[in-house]
Structure 1
């Protein structure tokens, strides 16, 4: 299908990536886990039926990560500007993903893929992947438009609601993907590992969990609490 999938990511350098994983991890361990998350996400994207795969990167990607991807540097400005800039790389349809949900499986994107495989005009002009912390992990735009992203306050508990409001306010019929949990803190990593048992990421989390106090290997209380997206799902 004529789909472009873009992954926005950054070089996994100690002390510059996934700093909220420390403690309990050391900066080097946090960076290594972030790299595993990125590589696993890229492997999933390689399995999607996409015409183009873009890696929009801050830094220099590993050769193995870049394989099968067109590599572009991230644009300037805040995250909203950098995401908006991705929209200029293709005429669409476009799916933008991050590197913080290694538990992502291809079948979780099946509703979007099935929807956009139908003859144009597609029933839904946008797809939204909510994150349990109030953000979002995926954004699909049948016709990419950076103006739908610019000015959205990123990395806040209200980011997803703002972005959803932008899409709805533009009159777009928006489809909703499953709620996923970003790996920000180590309990998030433990929860994500359970959802992708047997994967490289899960094995890495298992090794890092050895000898840690139980407080670090329990999932966070938000697992049992309603997410801000309960009404959408």
Structure 2
């Protein structure tokens, strides 16, 4: 019991792009316009940050390519993404984790994620003996990766060189996690194309992403975006 009470709270990391038309959710265009796709990306990011704001954590960090906007909720620190390919940028994100505490990295493409999916496995009582957490994506990738004892070297060993954005991404990462005790998180669908957006909006109909999708598909103009600093 004493060890559970002394267990440090986790660092939550979200890696994202600023939702700027033409830079995000490009696989939704067409049928969406770049402005609609950016509005959907902003909604997905806002839902993700809002949900993770309710998960117990020591620090909450948004690892951002771009500038934050009014969609950023209170309680989040913003740090810039590193240069390089996605594998390098994902690995570098773990360097921002609090020393001695577990860290979980989540992307911006799964607005249907719930607090319970993360809070229970990351709780001090449940994480004893776990070395890593893996959240598989339906397309063969992954939507979450957690490390119980994150270091920059470990993150690089696990992630650098993993082929990204293909149906082998998750399998290759799991191979690299071989020998570690891995806690499996529920499989989720990343929002990449229109079919994904339809599915995710139906799974979380009360979220901002679902409301934005309904607005887009109803034939109305794209919802007004919150905007971002410096743009």
Give the TM-score taking structure 1 as reference length. Answer: 0.84
Contact conserved, 2:9 with 2:57, CA < 8 A, in 1? Answer: yes
Which residue of 127, 132, 139 corresponds with 1:133?
A: 139
Q: How far, CA to CA, are the matches of 2:117 and 2:44 in structure 1?
A: 17
Q: How far, CA to CA, are the matches of 1:119 and 1:155 in structure 2?
A: 31
Matching residue of 2:218: 210
For residues 117-164 of structure 1, the C-alpha deviation after alignment (integer angstroms, 9 at most, x for no partner) is 0398x2211010000000000001001122211111111110000111
Q: What residue ranges of structure 2 are gaps of 5+ in the alignment?
A: 1-7, 221-231
For residues 46-73 of structure 1, the C-alpha deviation after alignment (integer angstroms, 9 at most, x for no partner) is 0010010000000001144153111110
Matching residue of 2:94: 87
Report how many aligned residue pairs link the two structures. Answer: 207
Pair 1:150 & 2:160 matched? yes
Matched residue SS, 1:65: coil
Matched residue SS, 1:35: helix
Matching residue of 1:226: none
Pair 1:47 & 2:48 matched? no
Q: What residue ranges of structure 1 are gaps of 5+ in the alignment?
A: 213-233
Query: Which has the higher relative contact order, 1 or 2, with Cα contacts under 8 A spaced 6 or more apart?
Result: 2
**Cα RMSD over matched residues?**
1.7
Q: Which runs of at least 4 in structure 1 moved beyond 4 Å after TM superposition? A: none
Give the TM-score taking structure 2 as reference length. Answer: 0.85
Which residue of 196, 206, 214 corresponds with 2:204?
A: 196
Q: How far, CA to CA, are the matches of 2:70 and 2:44 in structure 1?
A: 16
Matching residue of 1:184: 192
Range that drifts further, 83-92 or 100-109: 83-92
Pair 1:11 & 2:21 matched? no
